[in-house]
Structure 1
């Protein structure tokens, strides 16, 4: 797994454990140029049942995020 994806997962875990499970990408990422990259990554995470994307509200909900995912790939 790329360093960028691992850092994103670490950030998701921090936000999830401390602040709740519903977020927008704009709340998580700093560099807006990477929005598409992380959106595609979120779609991959949705396939693994880690997040659920709500396209209508432009949010995603973290369903199951544990450190076991940090070691995958």
Structure 2
């Protein structure tokens, strides 16, 4: 199962809109989110994005590993 959404940019507002849409989608599917692994871009390190994930059941883990994963997946 996966979720994707196109947004205009990866600034904090766009990152939050996409993350909120993903959280709502998975909730409708009955999936509980334990952690979130994001890109290490500024939108994902913003205070706005951190506040979004402070709700119970969400833990933000911004890490460059997701970028390495994406690079490996697209180069295969």
Pick the TM interval, shorter chain: 0.3 to 0.5
Bigger share in helix: 1
Bigger share in strand: 1
**Which of 1 and 2 has higher RCO (CA within 8 Å, sep 6+)?**
1
Larger Rg: 2
